[in-house]
Amino acid sequence: MPNDKWNDEEIENLLRDFPKIQDRRPKAEVYKKLSHKEQAPKQPKRWLPLLVAIVTFLSISVLVASLLQQNGTDSSSESESSEAESTMATDEAPTEQTEPADGSTKESEGAASLAADGPEVKRSAVYESELEGAHVLRIGLAYHGYVVPTSFVIPEQLADTAEPNALELYETFAGQIDESGLGFDEYHPYEGELQQNGSTISHFLPDGHSYDQGSASTLLYLNSLEQTFMGQQEIRVLNEDGEAAQLSHVGTAEPLVPGEQGQSFYLLASSTSEWHLAPAYGMSPENVGDALMALQQSPNEDYRTPIPEGVSYRVEVDGMNATLIFEEPLDLEALDGMEAMQMIESMALTAQSYGSSLTVSNTAQVEWAGFDFSKELELPVSPNRIDWLEK
């Protein structure tokens, strides 16, 4: 006990009170028993069965885990193999089902390959070879003081007569054109009366007409007449009495001869930001060679050159035959399709306006978008094509 205090004397007294232990056996007997004392039997090792059970359990666990892993790997491999076979079967199935006996698969693949190369580049001007069953209404549309010749291709069944002349086409369809919707100013039909006699167009101006309000309006009017009736030999501007009209800024109106002077065709934008090919009035050289070379530079800030940056060429002229040669082999497919088309057609329209043929050489493509560069180009008959929709 922690509070009890013991001393040596008390301990000795306590020990004396214990009874004395006595062994009355003979010494011989005690010695004999000590000599022949049997060994006590060993206690059995109770932990050994437990150890064996643990080792057995662990061995079985490792074996089972190994077997499960092997089975899982085999199952995964079989699953992947089955999936691969299923995929292969799926991929092959359409081919087997859709492959025709006549071998048109190659044609389909070819068409798909062409489609992958991008949309087809189409010519934007009008060509004689594309006019079967149609008439062309060429009209000079106005925008901000400039004239853009535009060609409406009209199915022949819509015309009032089988072979309408230029004036009949104009009077039938000009009033139906949505000029503002196309990005131009509302300008047509002309004020006053128009008459056609053979290949001569006469315009009788009424009193108070709006074509003489300034030099710009007069030039716009005259350029519009020329582009609208480009196929005629002569255009006369008359007053109501049938005499040559007096225009404030030009004096007596002289007869116009459409196409008398060739024109360089540049790019000109309308209010829709669409670029059209249009002649540079009063800014074009006198010969086809200089006119083709001039296309590389814009004549003013309103026109834009149709020649892409980095493209250069020279021009050789032999009489009425012009040859345009690119300084470096030109890959038309490497250019933007529309830009490439505008370049080629501006050259062709420029040559056509001067009455010259045109050969383009040193191109990577022999044929491209309807053009055959191995010979003289087919020249347009009119720019900026719009197909007339039946109403």
Residue 37's φ and ψ, nearest 5 degrees, are -65, 125
How far apart are alpha carbons 348 and 325 in whole angstroms?
Answer: 14
Q: Are the beta carbons of 340 and 122 closer than 8 angstroms?
A: no
pLDDT by position in tens, the chain (length 391) = 444 555 666 776 766 666 665 555 655 555 555 555 444 444 445 555 566 567 566 667 656 566 555 555 444 444 444 444 444 444 444 443 444 444 444 444 443 333 334 468 899 999 999 999 999 999 999 999 999 999 999 999 998 888 899 999 999 999 999 999 999 999 999 999 999 999 999 999 999 899 998 899 999 999 999 999 999 999 999 999 999 999 988 899 999 999 999 999 999 999 999 999 999 988 889 999 999 999 999 999 999 999 999 999 999 999 999 999 999 999 999 999 999 999 999 999 999 999 999 999 999 999 999 999 999 999 999 999 999 987 6
* End-to-end CA gap in the chain: 125
Q: Are the beta carbons of 227 and 239 closer than 8 angstroms?
A: no
How far apart are alpha carbons 366 and 32 in whole angstroms?
Answer: 133
